[in-house]
Chain A
Amino acid sequence: MALSENTRERRVRASLAPWLKGVLVALGSVSITMLGLLLITFIIGRVMPIDPVLAIVGERASQTTYDAVYEQLGLDKPLLVQFLYYLWDVLHGDFGMSLLNARPVSEDIKRVFPATLELATLGTLIGVLLGVPLGVIAAVRRGSWIDQIARVVALVGYSMPIFWLGLMGLLIFYGVLGWVGGPGRLDIFYQDIVPTRTGMILIDSAIAGEWGVFRNAFSHIILPATLLGYYSLAYISRMTRSFMLEQMSAEYITTARVKGMSERQVIWGHAFRNIRVQLITVIALSYANLLEGSVLTEIIFSWPGIGSYITTALLSADMNAVLGGTVVVGLIFICLNLFSDLLYRVFDPRSK
């Protein structure tokens, strides 16, 4: 009896050990990356040629007022001391107060990030749902007209300036045809109707059962999301095509065909199955890029997201807001990398 308990314990330990080791390694790696990110953003923030004191006191303030605020912001302390204070605050979830609008930066980020999350998620969904099949078909029918179209779509997606496409889209679909909503997240009539739960209006309005608000929000998000989705699609379809071409020329595909498998089974059951891991990385990267906030898209569509938040903060010398925003974006990258690593383990038998 005792022996069997010991054996069970050993087995449990043996199965937990690599798992625990994996978690610890991941945590260690995340901590080091985060520390590096904080340090680099902090130093960049301090050496940049912008003056947070001037931004607060205004250009006509006296030297005494300037010096008082300089001291108040702790800028007279050694850089290392400033960094340690900052690190301590960030570890407590405190990014400080926005130097300009006097609100906690964390509250500002809570307000602007859901807008970007909503837009980036819809954009990525559009990119994946259209880009992956397009890439697969283009690879399978290499050289056909579909392949040519896929390449043109990808090329245009890569080369067109996003603000130009955005303005054209607004002009045609909002200005001329009136099919979609204009700049902003909602028409003025629908603002402040739905209580904020997640900050994502599509979800909040659905939870509240306010379908009028949902439709209006959808009419506003669809154009910028399609635009971002198009850029995402261009990247995803090109990469999918390339991964698939590599697989389709592999020997096991010929073997599968010789064995008499249907073409559908060969493509989706074998070739596509083997590119899932690479595709996850591509999609995660594309999603992370959109989550950074596409500044130009946000500006053209008056979308109050994190991209325009960081840019405005940067132009206004609001260093706390810039650092807070950058740390959040960095965290997103790290989390998505971790997530794609986890999915690797699920989908790639070799990693087990």
Chain B
Amino acid sequence: MNALNRLLSSAVLGAAVLMTAPAPMAKAETPPNMLVIAHRIDDITTLDPAESFEFAGSDLSRNVYMRLVNFDPMDLKAGYQPEIAESWTVSEDKRSITFTIREGLKFHSGNPVRAEDVEFSLQRAVILNKTPAFILTQFGFTAENAAETIKADGNTVTITTDKPYATSFVLNCLTAVIGGIVDKEVVMANEQDGDMGNTWLKTNTAGSGAYSLVSWKPNESITIQSNPDYYRGAPAMERVIVRHVQESASQRLLLERGDIDIARNLNPEDIAGARNAEGVKVEEELKGRLMYVSLSQKHPELSKPQVRQAFKYLVDYEGMKNSFLSGQYTIHQNFLPQTYLGASDAAPFTYDVEKAKALLAEAGIPEGMEIEVGVREAQERIEIAQSLQNSLGQVGIKMNITIGTAKQILSRYRARELDVYLGAWGPDYPDPHTNAGTFAYNPDNSDEAQATGLLAWRNSWDTGGLTAKTDAAVVENDRDTRAKMYEEIQAEFRETSPFVIMFQQIEQSAQRDNVMNFSTGQAITSASYWQVTK
């Protein structure tokens, strides 16, 4: 239905171009101090930064909560910058970082932001142990030791990790949503049955960021109001409204009529149409999502090195990028998305059927071999699977496509039952370890290890020396050396791994041309609004 829907809506909007040409529309306009965004926000499940782990929820959190360190949307390449922490020092043994809290910061409640609030927020995230808690607990914090390892003292907070990790790794993790600092007084006043305010914070906020929450109507809208006490000064956009508009064609109509300022979910046809619309511009940013194919190393044929290589030559990268993925994905063959520390733009593989045939012959692959690929029911993934099926057919491999829901496909993938998996992966936090630690890391490849969170384990791949190299990179303190280590890991990974990384996502947002400085946060963070002007 989606494809048909898309096709017909495009046909309708095609007709629109013809119809609107002789009779230009009378434009509405949003107020100069208000930003109105159309976005799909039905993925928000909770507003609690200790629990929130979805895209639209991250956008809200980024604007409502401040963190110890954060990214500057005007200069994302600069990496993490001081936010609540004015400065920090690292102990000699590299295990402790002491943050000095910026003076004069206030929560939306009017309460001052204190070291005690930072201590409470980080300890709370560890103790609650919700889905994103692993971002902090990977440093050895536990509910039992949180009181010792995360400690406030006067105007400073010291965190002590179990190993001397790279400072950049720890600080990058603190820029994630889970690093949001909550107002202890307000949260604890709303505690129920010892839940540390979790129930209340699911639908309310207690932050100190550039905006405070006015309302969240699930699947309908989010309204936030500028914080006049924000330490960078009151934002130019006094009110930001994010409206849930599911349909791309409806988003485009609202934008072209001037009823919204930004449309964030336009399909390629509507993006093409919006480019020609008066007063509308289209901006592109690389996001963190990667599209990949992986081969189970339990399969006797797929585990041969030549077969792994052959698959990398059987993807019609250019063909797909220029057709159904046009504008939505760019070719990318490494596990670190572009814009990440240590990211590489090396793309040695091209669509080369002859080379693949030679590799398969060398591996002694029997003619007519049949394999199964599991794909979740998403249009772009199904189309990629069909393209791959066609390429494999040319080398005599029959690939059967099994399409299913997340439950059907993921449960088999996590149980190591699929020959081939085709899917997407997005980083959890803005540090290279987020992807290195799942693609190239697998300390125990046995079935009993049940390391279902690791992609290498799901594909039964013993990563060999890459696990140790990943361990080494995560404790390397020199930023440049660390970046180089990840480049080397990826170079080896490209050649030897059973992962065929194909594409990196591009987000295209169509905006009224008077909107300036809007950023979706690229691959490393989320959208922020304080810097936007009109």
Contacts and interface: CB of A to CB of B under 8 A. Distances in A.
A323 interface: no
A59 B25 contact: no
Given A63-B450, A176-B19, A176-B23, A188 B45 contact: no
Interface stretch (A164-172, A206-214, A229-237): A164-172
Contacts, number: 146
From B15, B215, B406, B410, residue with most partner A Cβ within 10 Å: B406
A316 B41 CA distance: 12
B453 A304 contact: no
Interface residues of B, number: 61
B20 A175 contact: yes
B400 interface: no
A60 interface: yes
Contact of A51 (B45, B46, B411, B450): B411
A188 B241 contact: yes
A183 B450 CA distance: 47
Measured as residues with beta carbon below 8 angstroms from the partner, the interface class of chain A is 35 or more
A301 interface: yes
Contacts of A301: 250
Given A50-B406, A51-B406, A192-B215, A168 B12 contact: yes
B382 interface: no
Contacts of A170: 249-250, 253
B53 interface: yes
Contacts of A57: 131
Contact of B453 (A49, A62, A175): A62
Interface in A55-102: 55-63, 65-66, 98, 100-102
Contacts of B253: 170-171, 174-175, 182-183
Given A183-B253, A304-B219, A103 B245 contact: no
Given A102-B202, A171-B15, A302-B245, A188 B257 contact: no
From B23, B220, B257, B259, residue with most partner A Cβ within 10 Å: B220
Contacts of A309: 219
Contacts of B247: 183, 299-300, 302
A317 interface: yes
Contacts of B53: 58
Given A51-B411, A60-B428, A175-B25, A163 B8 contact: yes
B391 interface: no
B3 to A, nearest CB: 13
B226 to A, nearest CB: 16
A110 to B, nearest CB: 12
A222 to B, nearest CB: 16
Given A49-B408, A175-B25, A309-B219, A302 B450 contact: no
B190 interface: no
Interface in B32-46: 34, 36, 42-46
Interface in A319-343: none
Contacts of B245: 183-184, 302
A98 B46 CA distance: 11
B458 to A, nearest CB: 10
Interface in B211-245: 214-215, 217-221, 223, 241, 243-245
Interface string A162-198: 0110011011101110100011100111011000000
Contact of B256 (A49, A60, A175, A192): A175
B428 to A, nearest CB: 7
Contacts of A299: 246-247
A111 B245 CA distance: 17
Interface in B158-213: 199, 202-203
Contacts of B20: 175-176
Interface string B31-67: 1001010000011111000000100000000000000
A108 interface: yes
Given A101-B46, A102-B199, A174-B257, 6 more contacts: A59-B410, A101-B45, A102-B202, A171-B253, A175-B253, A299-B246
15 contacts: A49-B407, A58-B53, A58-B131, A60-B438, A103-B218, A174-B257, A176-B19, A176-B25, A182-B250, A182-B257, A302-B243, A302-B246, A302-B247, A304-B244, A316-B42
